Amino acid sequence: MPSLTRAEAAERAALLSVTSYAIDLDLTADADTFRSTTTIRFAATAGATTFVEVKPVKILSVRLNGAPLDAAVDDNRLTLPALADGNELVVEAEMAYSHTGDGLHRFTDPADGAVYLYALSFLEEGQRIFACFDQPDLKAPVTLTVAAPPGWLVAGNGELASAEDGVWRFAPTAPLATYFVSLLAGPYHVIRDSHDGVPLALYCRASLAGHLDADADEILTVTKQCLDEFHALFGVRYPFGAYEQAFVPEFAAGAMENPGLVTIRDEYVFRSAVTDTERELRATTIAHEMAHMWFGDLVTMAWWDDLWLNESFAEYLGTRVAAAATRFDRAWTTFGMNRKAWGYAADQRPSTHPVAPDEVNDTQLALLNFDGISYAKGAAVLRQLVAWLGDEAFLTGLRAHFAAHAFGNATLADLLGALSAASGRDLTGWARAWLRTAGVNTLRAAVTAEGGAYTAVSVLQEGATARPHRIGVGLYDRTATGVVLRRRVEVDLDPAATGGTPVPELAGEPVADLLLLNDGDLTFAKVRLDDASAAAVPAVLPALADPLARAVIWSSVLDTVRDGERPVAELVALVLAALPAETEVVVVEDVLSQTRGLTDRYLDPATRPAALALLAQACDRLLAAAPAGGSLQLAAARGLIGATVDARRLRGLLDGAGVPEGIAVDDELRWLILHRLVVLGAATAADVDAELARDRSASGEHRAALCRSALPDAAAKERAWAVLTGAVDASNRIVEANAEGFWQPEQAELTAPYVERYFAQMPEVAGRFNPWLAERVAKLAYPRLAVAARTRQLAADLLAAPDLPAQLRRAVVDADDDLRRALSARG
């Protein structure tokens, strides 16, 4: 299927403008297909020829301006010749349901056999549902009509106008880009509410109804708080009528910002105990998607090269609004610890790219940019911009931007113009350094002292491109009551200062136990501590009161190890010394997760067991100190389960023996324990089957697939490989589970033959899946634990192929770079 190019989109936009879409779907046919009739009204240059996109099983009829059009679909394109000034196109087609999370996804709930549908039109998958001019700058109102089986509920982007005899009619929407069009249909459970004149609704499968009911107050409270905060920030009310959120199964992404009907993966309907980090992630996801109602939906990027106008702003504003308006007031700590680590890693790989590339040539290349740079780095850059411009000027510029482009499209230049006008600052240089240039800077402190006082402190900036940074520099001292901040100064780093930017305010200050660059985490840059501060970290970190400062330190330490500047053994020792005193659950979870990943890849197999024992010991200490029933206790228990090799203890937990007070061995924790037992060779396929019989749910099926793929058994590995390579038909989530569980450090000899099979088969495998799933499988199934020069040579041979799919090339390039680091660390 050809990708729409930027040049083709510009040419088509110059030829036509879309007046309206009417989409009529009949979902009553069978389990494989549905009927779609699309009526598009549009103006065009008389006599011109263009094309409309559609991905049918079969075209039933096409009429252009009342006359039959005898034209075949070429891949996904239907040619429209001899256009008039005003045109009406009617395309009737038979379409296929999807099981990969795109188009109109059909899911049968294993808990009760009920069928659920939902639509994902993102990027270019609306063509699987209706005929359309599929580019973001051809927006138009959409009118939806759906014929559904008896007993089903149907929802869409627009307000419901009527529902009679199984036919659901919706009012026309405000102008939408085609990739926002969505609907859901099935016996969904619904909860309705309203706030400040905005109708609200929550949807989920019937089998999750009790779990959604239990959390509805929290979800609706967060939704209302975020609505109020966005109204106050933007001065523009939510513009799309009702605000409904549907928690849907096997969703390909985290969530999708369809106006009026946001779709969210239903793992956010918690059926077992979760940590506050997971609840906060749900809240920031809600805020993120709501931010899109303005950035993306009200004002839409003209083309995918301005993706940052969508995702960077939603990431920044989602975190900001969650921290300001909800109970999750430490969302910036989570952002600094978790999201920025994603951004730093992405920006150091060979596949890095600018936040706002000069040009994205086609839609398939656009998909590659939905990554840690467009999200995390872009958001961090915006936070830096706000610190530099001032909040009032920033918000004034945003309001002017909305006023100028409401229900239309905009570009980078449009937004920068509004911000420049509001602030009185020329943002050309800032945009060139931060948005148009890839790569991350490293900040180091150059310190001289005499007589116990600083004589000079300056900040050195490393990286291919020096940038303007506004950072905090904090001085922290150990006292009888803990480590406290003595002084903090803000510094504007001069990108032209080759010898570093001096901090004269600190001259004469007594030498601190810890001098922390980027205190407050205002900029996007890696931080390296001076020697004295680095040496003091094991003593300072457990007693440091500020969670954001602790997150900055931990991020610096983890990144230093990832870069090979410090050994993993030193990190493991710090985890044992400092993590049991940690009170911020996201810090515990991220430190354990990242350390475990580095232990698995950077340590020689002979030394790894000793490191795991120390990690398990750290978790045991935290488990003993954490309040019963709280998030810290649960995070410590999960960390212990993942690190321990004591199968007898794990089996006891599964049977209810030795369970700490406050821990519930519920569905999700049982699967986590069983997975670890499987990896250790202490549980069998029969154990997995028995657990699935006890937990006959969609989540149970996914967890069982993960466990089965991790079984240390040749036949089990072969079955898992068949699923993850598409040789066996399965839904997107089951495919991902098999890829995720396949490689285990304990099973290197068993999985060794699959290293070469990955590189031999992946080009064909990538062609079996849609681009989104192909990239996920390529990443998850990569032999990341085969840390050997041979693996890198196989990667190089594959990358030499000229026609490699873009998603596979990106996955292999990045994974190979991670392997390069691991090999270097082992050396």
CA dihedral 658, 662, 667, 670 (to 10 degrees): -30
Distance of CA 202 to the CA centre of its chain: 22
Residue positions counted in the chain: 827
- How far is CA 502 from each of CA 132, 213, 507, 737, rounded to the nearest angstrom? 57, 56, 10, 51
Give the residue among 314, 323, 326, 328 at the shortest CA–CA distance from 225.
Answer: 326
Q: Cβ distance 279 to 326 under 8 Å?
A: no
Give the residue among 766, 740, 757, 742 at the shortest CA–CA distance from 791.
Answer: 757
Q: Cβ distance 378 to 312 under 8 Å?
A: yes
What b/e readout covers 276-314, taking b as 16+ CB neighbours within 10 angstroms? Answer: bbbbbbbbbbbbbbbbbbbbbbbbbbbbbbbbbbbbbbb
Q: Cβ distance 587 to 521 under 8 Å?
A: no
**β pairing state of 142-147 and 16-26:** parallel
Give the Cα separation of 785 and 819 in Å (integer).
8
Q: Say which residue the tokens 């001096």 belong to.
A: 502
Helices (H), 369-515: 378-389, 391-405, 412-423, 428-434
Distance of CA 709 to the CA centre of its chain: 24
Give the Cα separation of 306 and 374 in Å (integer).
10
**β pairing state of 77-80 and 86-96:** unpaired
In DSSP terms, which residues pair with 780 in a beta bridge?
Answer: none
Q: Cβ distance 132 to 50 under 8 Å?
A: no
Give the Cα separation of 41 and 140 in Å (integer).
9
Measured between its terminal Cα atoms, the distance across the chain in Å is 45
Separate counts of helices (H) and strands (E) for the chain:
28, 28
CB-count exposure of residue 767 (10 Å: 0-12, 13-18, 19+): exposed
Helices (H), 406-443: 412-423, 428-434
SS3 372: coil
The catalytically annotated residue of 53, 229, 278, 289 is 289
Q: Give catalytic status of residue 505 as yes or no.
A: no
In DSSP terms, which residues pair with 462 in a beta bridge?
Answer: 442
Q: Rg of the chain over CA atoms, in angstroms?
A: 27
CB-count exposure of residue 753 (10 Å: 0-12, 13-18, 19+): exposed
CB-count exposure of residue 7 (10 Å: 0-12, 13-18, 19+): exposed
Q: Which residues are catalytic?
A: 289
